[in-house]
Structure 1
Amino acid sequence: MAGMTAANLRPPRRRLARVGALAGLLVTAVALLLAPATPASAHAVLVSSSPAASAVVPDGPAEVVLTFSEPVRKVAGKIRVIAPDGARADRGEPTFESTVVTVPVDPSAGRGTYLVSYRVISADSHPVSGAFTYSVGAPSTPPTDTGSDNRADPVVENGVKVAKYLGYAGLLLLVGPALVLGALWPRRLSRRGPARLAWTGLGLLVFATLAELWLQVPYTAGGGLFDVTGAGLGDVLGSTYGATHLVRLGLLAAAAFLLRPLFAGPVGRTDGVILAILGGAALFTWPLAGHPAASPAPAVSVVVDAVHLGSMAVWLGGLVMLGGFLLRRADERELGAILPIWSRWAALAVAALLLAGTVQALIEVATPTALVDTTYGRLVLAKIVLFVLVLGVAAYSRALVRRRTAAGRPTPVRRAVWAELAITAVVLAVSATLVQTPPARTAGADVAGTQVGLFTTTLSSPLYSLQVEMAPAARGNNSLHLYAYTLDNRPQPVEEWKATAALPAAGIEPIEILLLPLTDNHATGEINLPAAGEWQLRFTVRTTDIDQATVSATVSIR
């Protein structure tokens, strides 16, 4: 009677599991319908502005126009124009049209130097911030923006990386037990331990997904860990990033109903196929919310990244099951049957990892120079070195299996498995940092409108103040601009300009810089700096027939 009751209960439980899975899929479908239709694009960078950076215009513009390399989204209150007196010069809300952002500006805010600061969201969900200056009539001492801070909170930045890491860890802890329990687990062994591990993995995945949604608000808008508003959270949930995370939660909910019977005992082919489909669909939510969806070849990048992630989860999740359970609990006969199959699976997963990783690197790094000159490229190199170490340990494990010593003496294989896992734990940490780093293809770009490579300072004397600008402030040819002002910040007419550059540490005596006056208070010149070091610049400005003063500055050339 008890046996009949159990048998009769099985079909309703299966039906309940499938109904639960269907409910999770409905949540996923709703999230997909709510997802905005945005074009794929790269990590956005500012390519031009009007007025241009450091430009001097005769009259105040009625608007400042920022043009980015790809479409960007708004961060409320993070685009500001500061007048020379420190007051806000922007008027009203900026308008966003694809790659162009237009900021209304008060054209009568006065003469002098204006500061434009911005923070926007690129299509790969990462914030892009920067600042530049332009001048009306003549340059003055640049103002500072005390009312807005576009710098990212380090606690939030590190929190995002930790959440990414926990998500990866949860994925492999879920996939490994589900795969082994469904295909390789001996019937005589209890499933309780692997089931607990899998539920832990599922919990980590849900927690990491919710944490990423929460942290995305202060990460994109700037602010602390708890600077989360309803409007900010609504903006995140209404973006592609938010939609993909909601889809992931829906797929995990659907999978949870089918995982319960799998953890209790063998399941049918239909449930196994549905689980595989749900798992494959969930894998695509990672690349769709990050760099791959915004690469030059988004379709290829998304598929390759999903394959890369899935291969990682199969390989490392299987290793956890192998080292944590099978090598300790299975007998010699069972290990003799399981290990050769697992060895083939691992070889296929590693091959897929290598192929997908190579394609990813080619797309995201773009050039050999970027591989060593950018943070993204150096992280890729570190990941490659660690991966080579893992492959060496994996080859040793596979050799043990081929010699069939693992079934009789599993201890050497167990040690090799834990060595693989220890190294790959570091690989996962590098990966979590990598996905938060701007790709090398954009990090190494020469972006117009930014002040990267610009040295600027204001020097004072009893007769005048001198604003100095040098670009790109690097070895080789450099352009120099000098602006002279009276002590009450009005243009100071200059009778004669003189300038020299010296590098005493390298024995380079003062080199005269030929200066060309452009206006009565503005001169320009070109200088070739042949070596790196602390260059000493000296400027002598004669304001009348008898009045002159010399000021100096030190610029670091790398």
Structure 2
Amino acid sequence: MRAKRLLIVLAAVVTALLAGAVPASAHAALLKTDPAQNSVVATAPTAVTLGFSEGVLLSADSLRVLDPAGRPVQQGAAHHAPSGSDTATVALRAGLARGTYTVVWKAVSADSHPVSGAFTFSVGAPSKTSAVVPQEPAGGGAVGTLYGIGRCLAYAGFAVMVGVSVFLTVCWPRGAGLRVMQRLAVSGWAAMVVSTLALLLLRGAYADGAGLGKVADLGLLRSAVETRPGGALVARLLLLAAAAAFLSVLFGAYGRRDDPRERRDLAFGLGVGGAVIAVGIAATWAMAEHASVGIQPGVAMPVDVLHLLAVAVWLGGLAALVTALYRTAGVDRGAVRRFSRTAFGCVCVLVATGVYQSWRQVGSWHALTATAYGRLLLVKLGLVAVMVAVAGVSRRWTGRLAESARPIAEAEPTAVAEAEPEPSGDPARAAQLARQRAAIATARIRRARDADPARSGLRRSVLAEAAVAVAVLAVTTVLSGTEPGRAAQAAAGAGAVPAYQGPAFVTFPYDTGGPHGKGIAALHLDPARTGHNELHLELADPAGKPVDVPEVRVAFTLDGGARSGGAGAIGPLPVPLEHLDTGSWASTTVQLPLAGRWQVSVTVRTSDIDEVTETKEVTVG
């Protein structure tokens, strides 16, 4: 029960990690735009063109151009330019009026991750704009969180299904007859089926940046199936149907075979068929994610398949060994030693494939610490190092493991009790005696299992190894949704256009010079992007208690030098404030037409003559 409770806690931790994880970074970076971001052009353009760092998949509404009143002015659907799939364009209506126009874009990068953003340009001169940009980037929000949880569940299910199957066919064939081991393998298969179906349903809304209400949209589902990531998910479902047949033979005909020759022949067929299925399922990740884009994809995809298989055999085998040590009468020393050798081989494969993948995805030593991908990779490497150290402890316990004096049970304790003849007579009395015999048999088996100190030490070390493995799976899931370090640095070097800027929060002290004139102002601008924003302002005394003042004003100003492509300043743009509560003001009508480093001025008046204005810089993306 302790092992079960620990695994439940670890699963909750993984879910919390994924729920708090940031949305996937932009894997296809926006490198250039025509018209240029924040530029002021003399004549109205006939089209808007975006250039990305890699090929992108477009939908009909991937490019929307909004006039100062927020009305769409694009003509037709977004499409790839003749120069290639890394360029998107859309035509504009003729005769656009003067003012600031907002371009809202979204796409799916070649490695299956959605990207989105917004920028502005002006015709003739900048102006105010009421254009509304999406509050959530594509791949974010509740859909993004659920998609991340589904990805983690798919990885975990794959590891359990493959690892347990290898453990039972290579290391401990006798365990294939135990119901607890059968349930473990089937639970991995079921997790993969459920997660794959969920990912397929979520895929359209995830890539489109839509909310949960669009998950059941058949049009989005059809569009998702027609893409490479959607096709990979469909292929995974078909392979899981074949995996169901594999498991039925493994726990049916193979588990009941007593003749060594028949068992050996059936094991060979299961090994070949299972290997084909496992490679095929692993390829559904390799063909649609990081390995399929960038440098050397022809080498990277097979290497990625090997990496995934090694992870599954090692981590899933650990799950099988933990279950065997805690939930069965015991596992013999030969099986533990065979798994130890298998796990060592998996570690060797992981080191070789991991070094290549790290070089390919990170690209430089500097990117290990300068990019989110590199830092996550360092965390994963640290966790794997801890796993290897704990595995070394497990190997030492394996060497000390004494041969069990009693044979390994071929049935579960309840089955042993049920096999004894039941007394005739009162059925209720017979059932009571059967439960008593089951309890006695279970206690006897547990005492025999726990009598060997080496076996107890092995159980603890393997459980610790499995606990670290859960953390490794969580970090791997987040890592697979993060922009590779090589791509991030290449995009930065090419002057990539920023996508979405997060909310801005600034605090500063003020002193009007009069009685009770000192305090602290805190301003929160959300989402700190061009177009529509919301502003919240809090005033407090030096002790942190909210205070009201007779008057407070907020204004935004953009200097000409703080933006690209234009001359002269914009503003000050006053912000109408609504008093909400003591020391609290808000505005839901903040319109910022251009990206850049805006100066936000807060004027506080505490009496008829005591007033001060404080200014801070806020970056608007």
CA distance in 2, matches of 1:81, 1:536: 28
Give the TM-score taking structure 1 as reference length. Answer: 0.73
> Is the Cα–Cα contact under 8 Å of residues 52 and 449 in structure 1 kept in the other structure?
no
CA deviation after TM superposition for structure 1 residue 207, in Å: 0.8
Q: Deviations over 1:265-292 (max 9, x none)?
A: 2424223212222212221111212111
- Name 2:617's counterpart in structure 1: 555
- Name 2:36's counterpart in structure 1: 52
CA distance in 2, matches of 1:387, 1:470: 49
CA distance in 2, matches of 1:301, 1:263: 35
Over 3 Å counting, the alpha-carbon distance change for 1:457 and 1:48 in structure 2 is closer
3-state SS, counterpart of residue 203 of structure 2: helix
Over 3 Å counting, the alpha-carbon distance change for 1:470 and 1:484 in structure 2 is closer
- Name 1:311's counterpart in structure 2: 310
- Name 1:438's counterpart in structure 2: 483
Give, as a single letter, the amino acid of the residue that structure 1 aligns with 2:238. G
CA distance in 1, matches of 2:469, 2:403: 22
Q: Deviations over 1:117-146 (max 9, x none)?
A: 100111111111111111111222354326
CA distance in 2, matches of 1:339, 1:237: 43
Q: Does 1:468 align with 2:568?
A: no
CA distance in 2, matches of 1:54, 1:374: 27
CA distance in 2, matches of 1:245, 1:189: 29
- Name 1:289's counterpart in structure 2: 288
Over 3 Å counting, the alpha-carbon distance change for 1:359 and 1:432 in structure 2 is same
Q: Deviations over 1:209-265 (max 9, x none)?
A: 111111111110012223132111111111111111111111121122132121122
- Name 1:320's counterpart in structure 2: 319
CA distance in 2, matches of 1:283, 1:149: 31
Aligned runs of 1:15-54 on 2, under 5 Å?
43-54=27-38
CA distance in 1, matches of 2:155, 2:134: 38
3-state SS, counterpart of residue 139 of structure 1: coil
3-state SS, counterpart of residue 93 of structure 1: strand
CA distance in 2, matches of 1:456, 1:470: 19
Identity of aligned residues (%): 35
Task: Report the aligned-residue RMSD.
Answer: 3.5
CA distance in 1, matches of 2:556, 2:366: 41
Aligned runs of 1:90-109 on 2, under 5 Å?
90-97=74-81, 98-109=85-96
3-state SS, counterpart of residue 113 of structure 1: strand
Over 3 Å counting, the alpha-carbon distance change for 1:138 and 1:203 in structure 2 is same
CA deviation after TM superposition for structure 1 residue 347, in Å: 0.6
Over 3 Å counting, the alpha-carbon distance change for 1:61 and 1:174 in structure 2 is same
Give the TM-score taking structure 2 as reference length. Answer: 0.66
CA deviation after TM superposition for structure 1 residue 188, in Å: 8.3
Give, as a single letter, the amino acid of the residue that structure 2 aligns with 1:423. V
CA distance in 1, matches of 2:565, 2:154: 48
CA distance in 2, matches of 1:76, 1:381: 40
CA deviation after TM superposition for structure 1 residue 203, in Å: 0.6
CA distance in 2, matches of 1:133, 1:338: 65
CA distance in 2, matches of 1:188, 1:486: 75
> Is the Cα–Cα contact under 8 Å of residues 406 and 412 in structure 1 kept in the other structure?
no
Which of the residues 343, 349, 353 maps onto 1:346? 343
Which of the residues 553, 561, 569 maps onto 1:483? 569
3-state SS, counterpart of residue 284 of structure 1: helix
Q: Does 1:261 align with 2:306?
A: no
Give, as a single letter, the amino acid of the residue that structure 1 aligns with 2:380. K
CA distance in 1, matches of 2:327, 2:313: 20
Over 3 Å counting, the alpha-carbon distance change for 1:106 and 1:324 in structure 2 is same
3-state SS, counterpart of residue 244 of structure 1: helix
Over 3 Å counting, the alpha-carbon distance change for 1:111 and 1:318 in structure 2 is same
Over 3 Å counting, the alpha-carbon distance change for 1:317 and 1:450 in structure 2 is closer
> Is the Cα–Cα contact under 8 Å of residues 599 and 617 in structure 2 kept in the other structure?
yes
The count of aligned residue pairs is: 450
- Name 1:402's counterpart in structure 2: 399
Q: Does 1:79 align with 2:170?
A: no
- Name 1:161's counterpart in structure 2: 148
Which of the residues 432, 455, 459 maps onto 1:414? 459
Q: Does 1:127 align with 2:127?
A: no
- Name 2:194's counterpart in structure 1: 207
CA deviation after TM superposition for structure 1 residue 329, in Å: 4.2
CA deviation after TM superposition for structure 1 residue 426, in Å: 1.1
Q: Deviations over 1:52-74 (max 9, x none)?
A: 11222111011111122222112
Q: Deviations over 1:484-533 (max 9, x none)?
A: 67999xxxxxxxxxxxxxxxxxxxxxxxxxxxxxxxxxxxxxx9xxxxxx
Over 3 Å counting, the alpha-carbon distance change for 1:106 and 1:486 in structure 2 is farther
Over 3 Å counting, the alpha-carbon distance change for 1:237 and 1:487 in structure 2 is closer
Over 3 Å counting, the alpha-carbon distance change for 1:421 and 1:139 in structure 2 is same
CA distance in 2, matches of 1:456, 1:174: 45
CA deviation after TM superposition for structure 1 residue 370, in Å: 2.3
Aligned runs of 1:473-512 on 2, under 5 Å?
481-483=567-569
3-state SS, counterpart of residue 482 of structure 2: coil
Give, as a single letter, the amino acid of the residue that structure 2 aligns with 1:364. Q
CA deviation after TM superposition for structure 1 residue 481, in Å: 5.0
Unaligned ranges ≥5, structure 2:
1-25, 256-262, 405-451, 503-527, 532-554, 575-596, 603-612
Q: Deviations over 1:353-373 (max 9, x none)?
A: 122222212211222232222
Over 3 Å counting, the alpha-carbon distance change for 1:371 and 1:330 in structure 2 is same
- Name 2:23's counterpart in structure 1: none
CA distance in 2, matches of 1:449, 1:391: 42
> Is the Cα–Cα contact under 8 Å of residues 27 and 487 in structure 2 kept in the other structure?
yes
> Is the Cα–Cα contact under 8 Å of residues 27 and 482 in structure 2 kept in the other structure?
no
CA distance in 2, matches of 1:181, 1:224: 43
Give, as a single letter, the amino acid of the residue that structure 2 aligns with 1:555. E
CA deviation after TM superposition for structure 1 residue 151, in Å: 5.1
3-state SS, counterpart of residue 213 of structure 2: coil
Q: Does 1:382 align with 2:379?
A: yes
> Is the Cα–Cα contact under 8 Å of residues 164 and 212 in structure 1 kept in the other structure?
yes
> Is the Cα–Cα contact under 8 Å of residues 556 and 572 in structure 2 kept in the other structure?
yes
> Is the Cα–Cα contact under 8 Å of residues 468 and 480 in structure 1 kept in the other structure?
no
> Is the Cα–Cα contact under 8 Å of residues 120 and 530 in structure 2 kept in the other structure?
no
- Name 2:169's counterpart in structure 1: 182
Q: Deviations over 1:358-405 (max 9, x none)?
A: 221221122223222222222112111211211111111112223446
Over 3 Å counting, the alpha-carbon distance change for 1:388 and 1:248 in structure 2 is same
> Is the Cα–Cα contact under 8 Å of residues 54 and 133 in structure 1 kept in the other structure?
yes
- Name 1:230's counterpart in structure 2: 218
> Is the Cα–Cα contact under 8 Å of residues 29 and 497 in structure 2 kept in the other structure?
no
CA distance in 1, matches of 2:499, 2:324: 56
> Is the Cα–Cα contact under 8 Å of residues 170 and 203 in structure 1 kept in the other structure?
yes
Q: Does 1:193 align with 2:194?
A: no
3-state SS, counterpart of residue 568 of structure 2: strand
Q: Which moved more, 1:98-107 or 1:399-408?
A: 399-408
Q: Deviations over 1:401-457 (max 9, x none)?
A: 234468653110110000011111111111111112222223342244447899999
3-state SS, counterpart of residue 292 of structure 1: helix
3-state SS, counterpart of residue 64 of structure 1: strand
Over 3 Å counting, the alpha-carbon distance change for 1:147 and 1:380 in structure 2 is closer
> Is the Cα–Cα contact under 8 Å of residues 76 and 91 in structure 2 kept in the other structure?
yes
Over 3 Å counting, the alpha-carbon distance change for 1:270 and 1:188 in structure 2 is closer
CA deviation after TM superposition for structure 1 residue 176, in Å: 2.5
Aligned runs of 1:355-394 on 2, under 5 Å?
355-394=352-391
Give, as a single letter, the amino acid of the residue that structure 2 aligns with 1:59. T
Give, as a single letter, the amino acid of the residue that structure 2 aligns with 1:424. A
